Structure 1
Amino acid sequence: MREPAVYIMASQRNGTLYVGVTANLNERVWPHREALLAGFTKRYGYKLLVWYERHERMEDAIGREKQVKGGSRARKLALIETMNPSWRDLYEDLAG
C-alpha cells in the first residue's frame, strides 16, 4: 500500500536529524529503528520518528522533502515541536 510521506528521524531530543521520503512509512521507519540501514543512518542511531507528513502523491512528498531538507535546523526543530512538542516516538502510533 502506497502512502507517500516525508519524515524526520532523530537520535534523541534535539539530537542529529534525518529527513527522508518514502512510499510506506511503517516499512521505512522499522529499519531505522533496528539499525539495519548502513552508513549515515546506522552511524548516528536514528531511532525516534519525531515528525511526519503524509501526501496524496509521491511527487508532492518528494517536493516537500526537498523543502524540509533545504530548510534550516531551526525550521526542522519548529516542525517537530509543532507536531510533537514532547519528542515522543511516533512510530508507536503507526504500529498500533
Structure 2
Amino acid sequence: MIRAHAAAECVEALAKKWAVEIVQTLERGPRRYNELRKEVSEQLTPKVFTRVLRRLEAENIVRREVVNDSPPGVEYRLTAFGRSLLAALDDVAELWTRRHSP
C-alpha cells in the first residue's frame, strides 16, 4: 500500500502541465527565470510560467534562490525530491518502452 501511495504522489506531482518539461530542463543545472522559460517553451506566458514554478516550489520539487549578480534575479534548481522524480520518470519511460515496443 505504501508503494502505491508513493506512486500516486509521484504521478500527481508530475501530471501538472509543464512540470515534466521544467524538471527535465533543470536536470542539466540551475537556470535563471528567462533562460528556463525559453528552454521549456517560449509559448508560455510569464503569468502561467510563474504559477507553475510557484506550485513546483510549494511541492518542494524546485527551489528558488535570489541571485545578487548583475543584473539581480532569481535562479531555479531541483531539490533532492525533484531529483528523485527524475529516476521515476526514467523508470516509467523504460517500462512503457519495453511494453510498447515491437
- Asked which structure has the greater RCO (Cα within 8 Å, sep 6+), the reply is 1
Asked if Structure 1 and Structure 2 have the same fold, meaning a TM-score greater than 0.5 normalized by the shorter chain, the answer is no
> What's the TM-score once normalised by structure 2's chain length?
0.28
> What's the TM-score once normalised by structure 1's chain length?
0.29
Structure with the larger helix share: 2
Rg larger in 1 or in 2?
2
Structure with the larger strand share: 1
